[in-house]
Amino acid sequence: MTTNHAPPGAERTAVVTGGSRGIGRAVAHRLARADLAVVVNYASDADAAEETVAAITAAGGRSTGVRADVADEHAVAALFDRAEQEFGGVDVVVNCAGRLALSPIADLDLAVLDAVHRTNIRGTFVVAQQAARRLRAGGSFVGFSTSVVGTQFPAYGAYAASKGAVEALTLILARELRGRDITVNTVAPGPTATDLFLDGKTPEQIDRLAKAPPLERLGTPEDIAEVVAFLTGPEGRWVNGQVLRANGGMV
């Protein structure tokens, strides 16, 4: 496959899935501050996406919001088409879109399992597939896993299993893109203060998880966005085919 290069001096463009809220929103803002045009993908919350886009443009950046279910290959192809049509190409893809369900394995409704895996595994695969076809030379793909793959907390069986698959497929993609000057890495956050993480947890549970890392605090979406900015920027070009556990030192 031939890889296009961005014209000299051309604006770089990022596609951020799940970019309307939480870590995805922080990533979108951080990449915009690094002078990338940002395509903010969202699944259903158009208002949140519009807020993200408006904040980026108000700060002098370029951005647009595009609705797409990451597990729908036609919708994702249209998302990348829009990025190319509006901004000239795609240089960075960050797949923040994800779904979380907590339950003991013995009790989990298999329909919930299917929904988690549809977004987290199929969705990652579909987005990675388009990234492999569209990214220009010098580009980067960043997938999202979780440190629970290593910590193995109870009730996270479906979620951790799906993210283990994300790690495997993204690291294989790094090797499949040999010779194209494209980096592929996965970020695996620890407990991070997002709505997705905080929902349904008691203050005691949150406090216990905050004390788990040696730094004794929850991560912030901005902490994770800085890691993504490093991996997709010039300073991170020698990091490829890795899982980076951004979790404050949790085992």
What tens digit of pLDDT does each residue of 127-139 get?
A: 999 999 999 999 9
Write out the two tokens for 53.
Answer: 């886009």
Q: Which CA distances in Å does 23 have to 2, 30, 91, 144? A: 32, 10, 20, 10
| Structural domains of the chain ordered from first start | 12-191+224-244 (3.40.50.720)
**Any catalytic annotation for residue 156?**
no
Tell me the pLDDT band of 1, cut-offs 50, 70 and 90: low
Write out the two tokens for 153.
Answer: 């907390």
Considering the candidates 80, 87, 159, 197, report the single residue annotated as catalytic: 159
Write out the two tokens for 104.
Answer: 């003991």
Residue 62 has pLDDT above 80, yes or no: yes
What tens digit of pLDDT does each residue of 3-32 get?
A: 576 665 578 999 999 999 999 999 999 999
Residue 196: per-residue pLDDT: 76
Nearest C-alpha neighbor of 181 from the set 227, 135, 143: 135
Residue 9: per-residue pLDDT: 57
What tens digit of pLDDT does each residue of 184-204 get?
A: 999 999 999 988 788 878 999
pTM above 0.85, yes or no: yes
- Residue range 56-70: mean pLDDT, rounded: 98
Residue 7: per-residue pLDDT: 65
Give the orientation angle of helix 123-134 with respect to helix 73-87, to 10 degrees.
40
Residue 3: per-residue pLDDT: 59
Coarse DSSP helix, strand, coil percentages of the chain, rounded to the nearest 5 percent: 45, 20, 35
Neighbours of 248 (CB within 10 A): 20
